[in-house]
């Protein structure tokens, strides 16, 4: 039996689809108030008559913050894919995000150690990697700098990953993946769906930065391959292409049949924008569309290397153009 957390998210939904399609016995952890409608849409997008496939998922009601529910969920489980994480840039969500991402991961790690679960795959992020000088390539060895240049989300994911490494010292058999920006079918209000939403809404500005992108289908393929391998206590960057934000937005606009942004947002404009967004948040309590951390990131050129992954298992990625078109097709449907 395989346990998947975060099954209603971008990575988790695609992982569940692939696992049940491959004939695996799958149990998915869900909270009592979680909605599975988005997951059903993903299944229907990839397979027209997917009801039988969807019914193969065994749902288990539990919570990462409830240690005893995790122990019950892990009974008979031989492999765990931990995809669950809270993503938010709203200041008021900081404490909840740390609790979910860090304490929740610690609970799951401890429960797996206590029950001797043989295999653990953790979905981390490039957000947990260090930030070298602009132009230098980032990989698994890039050292994390503990300063104020990281978003609260980045800090929570970094500390969650540290809980996994702590677990490996106590007997956990783990593999960690650090995907770059993940693209794939997802709702407009969630994950990278918000990037497509801004393009669909006719955003006029692009920024000077660049980062790595990867399709969710590739992330899932690599996760399954590594979890089924003999790799023990290693981390791997998963990155298909390093692309400038201007180019990405132009590609997304083309796939969505809307106009691409034409005006470059220089640093002072972005700096002013995040301050206005912070003021708007304090007045309306609506989640800011831009924060100090995301504003800084939007101007930074970050290039990622997956050389370690390629050395272990040569992997051919789906092109980012194809991942963008796949996402756009889902959103238009």
**pLDDT (mean) for 30-57:** 87
Measure the CA–CA gap between 85 and 10, rounded to whole angstroms: 11
Residue carrying the six token digits 């957000």? 127
pLDDT for position 285: 67
pLDDT for position 210: 86
pLDDT for position 52: 87
Has residue 299 got a pLDDT over 70? no
Has residue 294 got a pLDDT over 80? no
Q: Which of 68, 327, 60, 54 is nearest to 187 (CA)?
A: 327
pLDDT for position 51: 85
Q: Reading across the β-sheet that carries 57-61, which strands appear in turn? A: 57-61, 26-30, 2-5, 79-82, 119-123, 174-179, 234-238
State which of 2-6, 42-46, 273-277 shows the largest mean pLDDT: 2-6
pLDDT for position 203: 77
**pLDDT (mean) for 196-210:** 79
Asked whether 105 and 163 are in contact (CB, 8 A), the reply is yes
Asked whether 192 and 183 are in contact (CB, 8 A), the reply is yes
Q: Which of 232, 6, 238, 239 is nearest to 120 (CA)?
A: 232
pLDDT for position 220: 97
**pLDDT (mean) for 41-53:** 88
The residues, ordered by sequence, that sit 6+ positions from 305 with a Cβ below 8 Å of its Cβ are 137, 138, 139, 237, 239
Confidence (pTM)? 0.91
Q: What percent of the chain stands above pLDDT 90? A: 53
**pLDDT (mean) for 235-259:** 91
pLDDT for position 242: 95
pLDDT for position 15: 97
**pLDDT (mean) for 198-226:** 88
Has residue 133 got a pLDDT over 90? no
pLDDT for position 25: 94
Domain borders along the chain are 2-332
pLDDT for position 271: 60
**pLDDT (mean) for 54-60:** 92
In this predicted model, what pLDDT tens digit does every residue of 121-132 receive, in sequence order?
A: 999 999 888 876
Has residue 157 got a pLDDT over 60? yes
pLDDT for position 153: 81
**Is pLDDT larger for residue 113 or for residue 88?**
113
Q: Which of 207, 210, 203 is nearest to 259 (CA)?
A: 203
Query: What mean pLDDT value characterizes the chain?
Result: 87
Q: Cβ of 48: how many Cβ atoms within 10 Å?
A: 7
pLDDT band at 253 (very low <50, low <70, confident <90, very high): confident
Q: Which class does domain 2-332 fall in?
A: alpha beta
**pLDDT (mean) for 80-84:** 95
The residues, ordered by sequence, that sit 6+ positions from 10 with a Cβ below 8 Å of its Cβ are 182, 184, 185, 186, 190, 191, 192, 216
Residue carrying the six token digits 């809307």? 258
Distances (CA, A) of 175 to 45, 196, 226: 30, 31, 7
In this predicted model, what pLDDT tens digit does every residue of 311-327 receive, in sequence order?
A: 999 999 999 999 999 99
**pLDDT (mean) for 278-283:** 65
pLDDT for position 267: 67
Has residue 255 got a pLDDT over 60? yes
**pLDDT (mean) for 153-176:** 93
pLDDT for position 279: 64
pLDDT for position 47: 87
The residues, ordered by sequence, that sit 6+ positions from 326 with a Cβ below 8 Å of its Cβ are 184, 185, 215, 217
């Amino acid at each position: 039996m395989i346990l998947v957390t975060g099954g209603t998210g971008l990575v988790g939904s695609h992982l569940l689809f692939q696992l049940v399609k491959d004939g695996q016995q799958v149990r998915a952890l869900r909270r009592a108030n979680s909605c599975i409608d988005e997951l059903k849409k993903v299944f229907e997008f990839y397979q027209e008559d997917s009801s039988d496939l969807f019914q193969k998922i065994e749902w288990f009601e539990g919570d990462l913050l409830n240690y005893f529910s995790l122990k019950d969920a892990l009974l008979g489980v031989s492999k765990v894919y931990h995809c669950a994480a809270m993503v938010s840039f709203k200041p008021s969500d900081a404490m909840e995000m740390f609790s979910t991402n860090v304490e929740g991961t610690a609970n799951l790690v401890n429960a797996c150690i206590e029950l001797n679960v043989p295999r653990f795959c953790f979905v981390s992020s490039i957000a947990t990697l260090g930030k070298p000088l602009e132009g230098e390539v980032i990989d698994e060895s890039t050292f994390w700098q503990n300063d104020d240049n990281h978003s609260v989300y980045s800090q929570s994911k970094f500390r969650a990953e540290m809980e996994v490494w702590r677990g490996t010292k106590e007997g956990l058999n783990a593999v960690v993946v650090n995907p770059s920006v993940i693209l794939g079918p997802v709702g407009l209000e969630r994950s990278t769906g918000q990037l497509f939403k801004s393009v669909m809404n006719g955003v006029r500005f692009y920024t000077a930065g660049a980062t790595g992108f990867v399709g969710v289908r590739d992330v899932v393929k690599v996760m399954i391959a590594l979890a089924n391998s003999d790799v023990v206590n290693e981390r791997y960057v998963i990155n298909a292409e390093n692309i400038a934000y201007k180019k990405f937005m132009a590609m997304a606009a083309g796939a969505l049949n809307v106009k691409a942004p034409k005006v470059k947002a220089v640093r002072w404009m972005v700096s002013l924008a995040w301050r206005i967004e912070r003021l708007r948040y304090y007045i309306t309590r609506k989640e800011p569309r831009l924060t100090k951390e995301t504003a800084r990131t939007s101007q930074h050129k970050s290039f990622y290397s997956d050389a370690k992954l390629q050395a272990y298992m040569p992997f051919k990625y789906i092109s980012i153009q194809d991942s963008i078109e796949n996402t756009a097709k889902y959103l238009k449907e």
